[in-house]
Amino acid sequence: MPKTMFEKIWEAHEVRENLLYIDLHLVHEVTSPQAFEGLRMTGRKLRRPDKTVATADHNVPTDGTPTAAMIKDALSRKQVETLEKNAADFGVPVYSLGSETQGIVHVIGPELGLTQPGMTIVCGDSHTSTHGAFGALAFGIGTSEVEHVMATQTLLQNLPRTMRINYSGTLAEGVTSKDLILATIGKLGTSGMTGYVVEYAGEAIEALTMEQRMTVCNMTIEGGGKAGMIAPDETTFEYMRGKAGVPENFDDAVERWRQLPTDEGATFDTEVEIDASRISPMVTWGTTPGMVIQVTDTVPDPEQMDSPADREAAIRALQYMGLDAGTPMEEIRPERVFIGSCTNSRISDLREAAGAIKGRKVADSVRAMVVPGSALVKAQAEDEGLDRIFSEAGFEWRGAGCSMCLGMNPDTLFDGERCASTSNRNFEGRQGKGGRTHLVSPTMATAAAIEGHFVDIRNWS
Amino acid sequence: MEAINVIEGEIAVLDRSDVDTDQIIPKQFLKRVERTGYGEFLFYDWVRDGEIVLEPHPILVSGRNFGSGSSREHAVWALHQFGFKAVIAPSFSDIFYSNSTKNGFLPVELSEDVCQALVEAGEAKIDLENQMVSWAGGEASFEIEAEIKRRLIGGLDDIALTLMDEEEIEAFESGPGGTYGPVTTSL
Ligand code: SF4
């Protein structure tokens, strides 16, 4: 019987019905301390340290602080130090502050070659869906589940439903994979994928680079999806070749991975068709990622919305965002620009952003920062001279971490500040209390930084 | 985990959809390394700004897509430690739902109409065994997966249950299933 890629991976990992074996457990400092504590209290061991890896990312200052002990914020310091101690006590490799391979957990997994096709990957972090770009089954879990994986290397799971989104056509010039996923969430809504493992497929997806595919899978959770996946292909294998953690017999592994893609005739619970050629550069206007429109549109009018729940949510969102219905998106003026996060902080994101600058300067009204996703990305960018391009244009060039994606570290918005951000969540207060977030692609963020307002990147020279 | 079966009493109402975990427990409270002490920071920003007032009744009713966003289990701890024992909404995010059931905190999915009736009634009784919610003037049944229900009613510890089958895990690991993926300790 023809099978979906998801079914193949699921079946290969069933210890028994509803108990899934986990090949890789990624750990970070925020969602793990209570799980380690649970192991200690019950006297349990961490079953497979060799399938576990930890990094510090959420709390990390991006000002070059070299060690955990030097983090100024006492609570952040304690959390990172606790991670280091827990990792040492339980034998887990840890990339903390000062490590050459420290970085955002969803950036370092792929770049170290730990993320591979056909694997099951979990992490106490909802953006674990990112790793599905390699044809892995990867999803976020809560802290109780983190403890369960630590103790048993397995996870209790009910069979999720499956969805395939087929993108026909190709993306237009200036339109990125960030716009593709934002447009998808805009169409399906923030709970449109709830309960589903989603496979992204079609011509437009096949044409994407690995890093662009990661951006798509990353935001699956913003559509409510459990996991996002893309079939591995030559693009995947070429990206992985030579990375530290990949199998020694790489070519043999590639032969196995070629068996993973969904078979012809396999069925999904739901299929969705989207014409990729019609997608435009997107900007969010509200406080959920589903509140998104084309940059050429105007801020929507709540009164025009059919459902009372949508209307109320939109009224609240506009009030919070300080926007009036009918305002052209291109007239909105962010005071801050953030290029970073596990959605868009990889080397190609930074290359695209830097490439769009072309000798211009950040507008006087804007404070802009660029935060590489990992220490390796930072080093690579500096090798290529991207840091100088950014600095000369007036962008701040920072150290690796989650940074202003969630404002759990010193990088935050002030009350009422408006930000063009390449991250994934525009929730109230996400980037700092009272902060107003507009989600965009890296090139759209760069253009907004230079012009001082949003612009349609397609007409921007 | 505390066993639960019947939850009964007054209803607190949070009349919003897409209530995300960033709101339930803002990130500045995620820096703690303990499992307790989150209740007082529940909906910190909204409460501090006087946007909402919540009483620690046994049951919370809210809008669709409750608990969306981050996987932080702190959100469930905060709701539970504040005093809620169950939350009723038209839909939940997957991770929030799962986190709730690992903590003896009951998520109940019921239609918008039923939620509205509950808000008007102000009091309700949730009978997990029989999967029924009743209030003055009505009742409705809800779905819950049988295994999750069994664990909630028994207050059972997932890890202890799984470790009873440790031999199965060992057998799996020594077969082809144990060969996928990198060896993190040898990087
Ligand atoms: S960059 Fe943002 S979304 Fe990604 S892991 Fe860090 S905090 Fe979470």
Give me the domains of chain B, ranges plus CATH numbers.
Answer: 6-172 (3.20.19.10)
Out of A15, A19, A93, name the one closest to residue B184 (CB). A93
Mean pLDDT of A264-293: 98
pLDDT band at A408 (very low <50, low <70, confident <90, very high): confident
* Prediction pTM value: 0.96
Q: What angle do CA A195, A117, A180 make, to 5 degrees?
A: 55
What is the C-alpha separation between B105 and B102, in angstroms, rounded? 8
pLDDT band at B13 (very low <50, low <70, confident <90, very high): very high
pLDDT band at A449 (very low <50, low <70, confident <90, very high): very high
What is the C-alpha separation between A147 and A37, in angstroms, rounded? 9
CA distance A260 to chain B (A): 13
With 0-12 / 13-18 / 19 or more C-beta atoms within 10 angstroms meaning exposed / middle / buried, residue A22 is buried
Q: Which two tokens stand for residue A346?
A: 């990889």
pLDDT digits (tens, 9 = 90+) for B76-129: 999 999 999 999 999 999 999 999 999 999 999 999 999 999 999 999 999 999
Q: Put residue A239 in one of left, alpha, beta given phi > 0 → left and psi -120 to 50 → alpha.
A: alpha
B116 has a chain A CB within 8 A of its CB: no
Assess whether the C-beta atom of A107 lies below 6 angstroms from ligand 1.
no
Query: Pseudo-torsion of CA B175, B176, B181, B187, nearest 10°?
Result: 60
Mean pLDDT of A6-21: 97
Q: Which helix (H) or strand (E) segment is A228 a member of? A: strand A227-229
Residue B40: name the closest of B54, B21, B50 by CA.
B54
- The residues, any chain, with a CB within 8 Å of residue A369's CB and separated by 6 or more, are A336, A337, A338, A339, A340, A395, A396, A397, A398, A403, A404, A411
How far is ligand 1, taken at its centre, from the CA of residue B174, in Å?
A: 35
Is residue A216 within 8 Å of residue A205, measured between CB atoms? Answer: yes
CA distance B37 to chain A (A): 13
Most informative mutation of A104, A129, A398, A421 for ligand 1 (most atoms within 8 A of CB): A104
What is the C-alpha separation between A172 and A271, in angstroms, rounded? 23
pLDDT at A407: 83
In whole angstroms, how far apart are CA A251 and each of A237, A413, B56? 9, 47, 59
To the nearest whole percent, how much of chain A has pLDDT over 70?
Answer: 100
pLDDT digits (tens, 9 = 90+) for A73-91: 999 999 999 999 999 999 9
Assess whether the C-beta atom of A219 lies below 6 angstroms from ligand 1.
no
Kindly determine whether residue A408 and residue B30, on different chains, have CB atoms separated by under 8 Å.
Answer: yes
Q: Which residues of chain B make contact with A194, given a CB cutoff of 8 A?
A: 65, 91, 93-94
> Is pLDDT above 80 for A251?
yes
Residue A340: name the closest of A24, A60, A33, A53 by CA.
A60
Most informative mutation of A126, A405, A426 for ligand 1 (most atoms within 8 A of CB): A405
The side-by-side arrangement of strands in the sheet containing A336-339 is A395-397, A367-370, A336-339, A418-421, A436-439
Residue A339: name the closest of A414, A293, A400 by CA.
A400
Out of B69, B163, B172, name the one closest to residue A425 (CB). B69
pLDDT at B2: 86
Kindly determine whether residue B93 and residue A125, on different chains, have CB atoms separated by under 8 Å.
Answer: no
B64 has a chain A CB within 8 A of its CB: yes
Assess whether the C-beta atom of A211 lies below 6 angstroms from ligand 1.
no
Is residue A413 within 8 Å of residue A434, measured between CB atoms? Answer: yes
With CA atoms as reference, the chain B residue closest to A431 would be B27
